[in-house]
Structure 1
């Protein structure tokens, strides 16, 4: 199942090391396969609810960077200029991420396992397809065939 997530135009994914992308893809693939093997609609619904609340790279940066910057400004008032530089640097990196769609902070956050919104949505749609929300997924062929069909359907 090597090519199911190769058409992404996501800037964060495009600029992340391929090892990170493969690790995230393998996680998605194993979750979708597990759900296909279990076939439990209520478990799928619970997992989908969890995915609804998962933070993506952009949200993590939009919340995390201002926290770092504010912390740097507050610590800079008492402990010196170095902390203020940290605050300014993190804000500059957030600006770069906002303008280009990626940056060093997004690679750092991605290294922690945080996924892009598109990757989270892909997993959600694949599980919704397994749950029977769409008509394109065959019921025959076993769990692996259903998981593959769900991942392909989620891409289109």
Structure 2
């Protein structure tokens, strides 16, 4: 059975690396909770620009494939095998969630989109972006009462 899109990278990453990524994320959120709204806003902007593991792997595969094509066209035709191998690894990653550069990138701290979103939504919650949802039913009841009183 194939792993889900959300689970496939963490399943193929050592638990120690997954734990380190989680710990670093939680530490950043805790520091920013004390730093205030301006620091949270700045970090949210940084998160919008952060490359996730998928984008990193795609850029890596494209770069290596182009290098192989260039070397094949200019140095030796045997280099044309290199883009084929890279494409096979990229397909393996798409299906299984693993490819040779994955452990290296994960150890470097490259996160999945879900891991980035976890930090993003924790910071938004700290900033108060979701406060209106907590009191949604109370606000609705108040609005209905005001409308009833106006009639």
TM range (shorter): 0.7 to 0.9
Q: CA deviation at 1:90?
A: 1.1
SS of alignment partner, residue 104 of structure 1: coil
Q: CA–CA distance in 2 between the matches of 1:132 and 1:47?
A: 15
Runs of 5+ consecutive residues of structure 2 not aligned to the other structure: 1-5, 133-151
Runs of 5+ consecutive residues of structure 1 not aligned to the other structure: 1-8, 137-156
Larger radius of gyration: 2
Q: CA deviation at 1:101?
A: 3.0
Q: Of 56, 59, 63, which residue of structure 2 is paired with 1:60? A: 56
Alignment check: 8 A CA contact 1:10 1:118 kept: no
Q: CA deviation at 1:66?
A: 1.2
Q: CA–CA distance in 2 between the matches of 1:34 and 1:55?
A: 22
Q: CA deviation at 1:114?
A: 0.7
**Cα RMSD for the two superposed structures:** 1.8
TM score, norm. by length of structure 1: 0.74
Q: CA–CA distance in 2 between the matches of 1:112 and 1:82?
A: 32
2:93 is matched with 97
Q: CA deviation at 1:82?
A: 4.8
The size of the alignment, in residue pairs, is 127
